[in-house]
């Protein structure tokens, strides 16, 4: 497998103005993120609300330009590709199909939109392509002239998936594709995404709050905290032995579908910090049970550990808790 996507030191900043005469503050929504995704792989992005997952997803889709750093897709810098070329190869599936589908368009027109933008298909090619992809995503032909309001949530998400796949992209960026759906429908849509991945040899960047889904669906996981990737590696390693104290905390918030488990405690003591004024050093230090002096003073570099990488002073050797890191590995 060769790398299809290469994300290097990507930063995305937003100027935030609090008052008319105040200087804007800079919000570092994505703060120096690097990773690669191999062809055919599923990489999941996890982390609390506001940690920058969707901003990063939109950067991969060419919706946001990085403030600095570089996204390379199939060997080409995204900056050098025009929007249409990016859209042919990289497609999104968003959380809420109702708001991403124009309510005044029929299923046929919604699904054919990427073809219409390229204006290369004849009307019979268009009709055939729509019929074929509708069959593949499990939409009955009877719904071809329906409007989004006449469809169920699951059917609408199938329309969004059909539209994403009609141009046979290589990479699909799924931003919480099942969060707005009923639990019973979520599994059907996840199974569909998995089948389509095999059928079209797709690569996914997948965002979900549900670590059980992530565990089931992805090959590798990147854990984000306040715009930074704090741990990245094989799913079983990251969600199993979890090197970073944040990943461990995040896991405590997972609802295990087993009635003998009690409800988990609230994940964290403090609230999420102000992203325009993040804590010094390691952003997680005020909430970290293992934080030492180095953690308030210096941003941890990324260290390799087994098949994972982790950005935490427990593993850089700078924290007083160096032994604590070894203990963690032993407990795990």
What is the binding site for ligand ATP (CB under 6 A)?
14, 27, 29, 47, 49-55, 275
Strand partners, 25: 16
138 binds, among Mg ion, ligand ATP, none (CB under 5 to 8 A by kind): none
200 binds, among ligand ATP, Mg ion, none (CB under 5 to 8 A by kind): none
> Phi-psi category of 47—alpha, beta or left, where left has phi over 0 and alpha has psi -120 to 50?
left
CA 73, 76, 81, 85 dihedral sign is negative
Binding segment for Mg ion among 4-12, 52-60, 64-72, 83-91 (CB under 5 A)? Answer: 52-60
Alpha-carbon span 170 to 91, nearest angstrom: 8
Residue 283's nearest CA partner among 45, 97, 35, 52 is 52
**59 touches Mg ion by CB under 5 A:** no
54 or 178: CB nearest Mg ion: 54
57 or 112: CB nearest Mg ion: 57
Residue 236's nearest CA partner among 222, 250, 219, 261 is 219
52 or 148: CB nearest ligand ATP: 52
196 or 222: CB nearest ligand ATP: 222
Smallest gap, in angstroms, from Cβ of residue 291 to ligand ATP? 22
Binding segment for Mg ion among 48-56, 123-131, 225-233, 278-286 (CB under 5 A)? Answer: 48-56
54 or 186: CB nearest Mg ion: 54
Smallest gap, in angstroms, from Cβ of residue 176 to ligand ATP? 7
Query: How many chain residues are in contact with Mg ion, going by CB under 5 A?
Result: 1
**155 touches Mg ion by CB under 5 A:** no
49 binds, among ligand ATP, Mg ion, none (CB under 5 to 8 A by kind): ligand ATP
97 binds, among ligand ATP, Mg ion, none (CB under 5 to 8 A by kind): none
Smallest gap, in angstroms, from Cβ of residue 45 to ligand ATP? 8
275 binds, among Mg ion, ligand ATP, none (CB under 5 to 8 A by kind): ligand ATP
For the beta carbon of residue 232, count every other beta carbon within 10 angstroms. 24
User: What's the order of all strands across the beta sheet hosting 3-16?
Assistant: 25-38, 3-16, 68-73, 76-77
**54 touches Mg ion by CB under 5 A:** yes
Query: Which residues ranging from 180 to 209 are in contact with Mg ion (CB under 5 A)?
Result: none
Alpha-carbon span 105 to 130, nearest angstrom: 14
DSSP states along 138-168: T--GGGGG--GGGS-HHHHHHHHHHHHHTT-
Alpha-carbon span 171 to 201, nearest angstrom: 9
22 binds, among ligand ATP, Mg ion, none (CB under 5 to 8 A by kind): none
Alpha-carbon span 178 to 252, nearest angstrom: 22
54 or 155: CB nearest Mg ion: 54
> What sections of the chain are H helices per DSSP?
53-60, 83-89, 97-100, 107-118, 123-136, 153-165, 183-200, 211-217, 235-240, 245-252, 293-297, 313-316, 322-331
157 or 308: CB nearest Mg ion: 157
Smallest gap, in angstroms, from Cβ of residue 53 to Mg ion? 5
Which stretches of the chain bind Mg ion, using CB under 5 A? Answer: 54
């Amino acid at each position: 497998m060769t790398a299809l996507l290469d994300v290097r030191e990507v930063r995305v900043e937003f100027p935030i103005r609090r008052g008319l005469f105040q200087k804007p503050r800079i919000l570092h929504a994505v703060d120096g993120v690097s990773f690669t995704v191999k062809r055919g792989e599923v990489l999941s992005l996890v982390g609390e609300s506001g940690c920058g997952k969707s901003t990063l997803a939109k950067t991969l889709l060419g919706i946001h330009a990085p403030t600095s750093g570089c996204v390379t897709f199939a060997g080409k810098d995204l900056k050098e590709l025009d929007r249409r070329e990016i859209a042919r190869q990289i497609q999104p599936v968003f959380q809420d199909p109702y708001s991403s589908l124009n309510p005044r368009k029929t299923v046929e027109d919604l699904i054919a939109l990427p073809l219409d933008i390229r204006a290369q298909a004849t009307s019979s090619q268009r009709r055939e392509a729509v019929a074929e992809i509708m069959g593949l995503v499990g939409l009955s032909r009877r719904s071809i002239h329906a409007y989004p309001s006449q469809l169920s949530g699951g059917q609408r998400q199938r329309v969004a998936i059909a539209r994403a796949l009609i141009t046979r992209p290589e990479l699909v960026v799924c931003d919480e594709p099942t969060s707005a759906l009923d639990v019973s429908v979520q599994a059907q849509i996840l199974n569909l995404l998995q089948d389509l991945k095999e059928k079209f040899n797709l690569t996914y960047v997948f965002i979900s709050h549900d670590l059980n889904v992530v565990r089931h669906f992805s090959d590798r996981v990147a854990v984000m905290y306040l715009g930074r990737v704090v741990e990245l590696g094989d799913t079983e390693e990251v969600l199993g032995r979890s090197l970073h104290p944040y990943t461990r905390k995040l896991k405590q918030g997972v609802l295990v579908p087993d009635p003998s488990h009690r409800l988990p405690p609230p994940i964290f003591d403090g609230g999420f910090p102000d992203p325009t004024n993040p804590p010094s050093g390691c952003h997680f230090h005020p909430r970290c049970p293992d934080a030492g002096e180095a953690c308030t003073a210096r941003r941890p570099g990324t260290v390799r550990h087994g098949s994972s990488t982790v950005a935490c002073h427990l593993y850089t050797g700078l924290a007083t808790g160096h032994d604590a890191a070894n203990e963690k590995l032993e407990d795990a």
